[in-house]
């Protein structure tokens, strides 16, 4: 008996996706609701669960093919997989090569149970997942586990002191000249969408960037003083983003145009703050939305961001979590960025870029002192936001960060 595997509903207005990878191969045993394939949409990766328990049948489509909602992409056959997966011979066949020309890891059916992001990391690094101890839930491998295993030093064979082995008159042969290689990799649907949206933003909006800097002394002191108590009470680490999101919400109330959008010949003002936060995912940056961030506490913001970051790495963010947003914050400082001019996340009117914290000399009360400083960058649509409003927003944000008590008393 055969059961068809169909493309599930992908979300409102999403009618098709690209098959990113098969997580199960023909003959592999499959449990009910176990992921068997990964689909790439314009925004996120979605796993396709098996409708029943059985054995993976033939693949109906290939990796990279575009599939529509409701289309049949494969089948699940009756059985437990025992007959379809016999024990390997004494000399197993070599594993297929991955896109980089390296041999893919051969570790039984272990890769089939990995999440899309982990499986991709395994293929890219060539690390055998069977040799790695997982640190995720129930001992599952994470992407960080794979990258850490790749970065771990490997033992080198002991030197023979330069002496040639017995029976050899010559020393070691000269090294062969380096071979120059190129690799062509098809852009993922997510990367194509990111490229299109960024270019559309530049073609549509009159983008201008205004800069300021902020003294992080007070926030760093508050974080150092309360981080242990904060984590004990709320179960999440106290970071800097919680402060910046709350400070931004206050500044957005002072300067409503920064929280607005242009629709046709109308300006739409929002009396709420849905803050989009850029987080890193295997296929590129994704921008989930903190709904009603102005109504959340710092702890609520930190919990939401932490959850987004984890699920972005696992590829389990939902489509609805990526929609909307009235203002975006992008923190390039976590990657070491000193200064940047971020691009607007259309149809929003502005985006705030955060950067690394760096000790710099500044003047305080006529004295040159060293302070932990961060550059702030506000890119905005000049069709809607004037320079005065952009500067006013940044100054309000700066004041709240340099005196966090303002966040507490909404000043």
For residue 127, the domain's CATH number is 2.40.50.100
Q: Is residue 126 located within the same domain as residue 247?
A: no
Beta strands in 270-313 (DSSP E): 275-277, 279-281, 284-286, 289-290
Q: Is residue 222 located within the same domain as residue 318?
A: yes
What domain range includes position 121? 2-151
Q: What is the pLDDT of residue 99?
A: 40
| Catalytic one of 65, 80, 386, 410 | 386
Q: What is the pLDDT of residue 379?
A: 97
Beta strands at 279-281 and 261-263: parallel, antiparallel or unpaired: unpaired
Integer Cα distance of 260 and 105 in angstroms: 50
Residue 287 maps to a domain: yes
The answer to whether the beta carbons of residues 314 and 146 sit under 8 Å apart is no
Decide: helix, strand or coil at residue 269.
coil
The answer to whether the beta carbons of residues 306 and 342 sit under 8 Å apart is no
Q: Is residue 143 located within the same domain as residue 196?
A: no
Q: Is residue 118 located within the same domain as residue 203?
A: no
Q: What is the pLDDT of residue 194?
A: 80
Taking the model in full, what pTM does it have?
A: 0.64
Q: What is the pLDDT of residue 113?
A: 57
Q: Is residue 250 located within the same domain as residue 393?
A: yes
Residue 179 maps to a domain: no
| Residue ending a domain, choose from 92, 124, 151 | 151
Of 151, 158, 169, 121, residue with least CA distance to 314: 121
The 8-class DSSP code of residue 261 comes to E
Q: Is residue 138 located within the same domain as residue 230?
A: no
Q: Is residue 108 located within the same domain as residue 251?
A: no
Q: Is residue 263 located within the same domain as residue 310?
A: yes
Residues of the chain with confidence (pLDDT) below 50: 82-109, 111-112, 155, 157, 161, 163-164
Residue 329 maps to a domain: yes
Give the Å distances, CA to CA, from 12 to 9, 96, 152: 8, 37, 44
| Catalytic one of 215, 382, 403, 410 | 382
Domain count, the chain: 2
Q: What is the pLDDT of residue 137?
A: 57
Q: Is residue 207 located within the same domain as residue 133?
A: no
- Is 382 known to be catalytic? yes
Q: What is the pLDDT of residue 196?
A: 87
Task: Retrieve residue 342's tokens.
Answer: 């971020």
| Residue ending a domain, choose from 151, 179, 203 | 151
β-bridge mates for residue 286, sequence order: 279
């Amino acid at each position: 008996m055969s059961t068809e595997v169909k493309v599930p509903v992908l979300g409102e207005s999403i009618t098709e996706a690209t098959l990113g990878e098969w997580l199960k191969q023909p003959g592999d045993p499959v449990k009910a609701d176990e992921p068997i394939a990964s689909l790439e949409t314009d925004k996120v990766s979605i796993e396709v669960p098996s409708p029943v328990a059985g054995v993976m049948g033939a693949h109906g489509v290939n990796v990279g093919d575009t599939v529509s909602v409701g289309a049949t992409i494969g089948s699940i056959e009756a059985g437990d997989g025992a007959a379809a997966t016999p024990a390997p011979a004494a000399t197993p066949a070599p594993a297929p090569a991955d896109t980089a020309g390296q041999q893919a890891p051969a570790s039984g059916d272990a890769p089939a149970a990995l999440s899309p992001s982990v499986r991709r990391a395994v293929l890219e690094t060539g690390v055998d997942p069977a040799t790695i101890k997982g640190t995720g839930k129930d001992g599952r491998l994470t992407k960080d586990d794979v990258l850490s295993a790749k970065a771990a030093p490997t033992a080198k064979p002991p030197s023979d002191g330069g002496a040639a082995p017995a029976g050899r008159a010559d020393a070691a042969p000269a090294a062969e000249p380096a071979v120059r290689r190129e690799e062509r990799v098809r852009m993922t649907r997510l990367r194509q969408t990111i490229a299109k949206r960024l270019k559309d933003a530049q073609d549509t909006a009159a983008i201008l960037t205004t800069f300021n800097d902020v003294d992080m002394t007070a926030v760093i002191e508050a974080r150092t003083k309360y981080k242990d108590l904060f984590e004990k009470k709320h179960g999440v680490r106290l970071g800097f983003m919680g402060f910046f999101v709350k400070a931004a919400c206050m500044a957005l109330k002072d300067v409503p145009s920064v929280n607005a959008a242009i629709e046709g010949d109308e300006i739409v003002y929002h009396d709420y703050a849905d803050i989009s936060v850029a987080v890193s995912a295997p296929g590129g940056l994704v921008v989930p939305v903190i709904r009603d961030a102005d109504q959340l506490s710092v702890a609520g913001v930190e919990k939401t961001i932490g959850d987004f970051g984890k699920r972005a790495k696992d590829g389990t963010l939902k489509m609805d979590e990526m929609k909307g947003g009235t203002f975006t914050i992008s923190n390039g400082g976590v990657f070491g960025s000193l200064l940047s001019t971020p691009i607007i996340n259309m149809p929003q009117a502005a985006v705030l870029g955060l950067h690394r914290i760096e000790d710099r000399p500044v003047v305080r009360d006529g004295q040159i002192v060293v302070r932990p400083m961060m550059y702030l960058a506000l890119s905005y649509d000049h069709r809607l936001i004037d320079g005065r409003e952009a500067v006013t927003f940044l100054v309000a944000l700066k004041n709240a960060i340099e005196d966090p008590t303002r966040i507490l008393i909404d000043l």
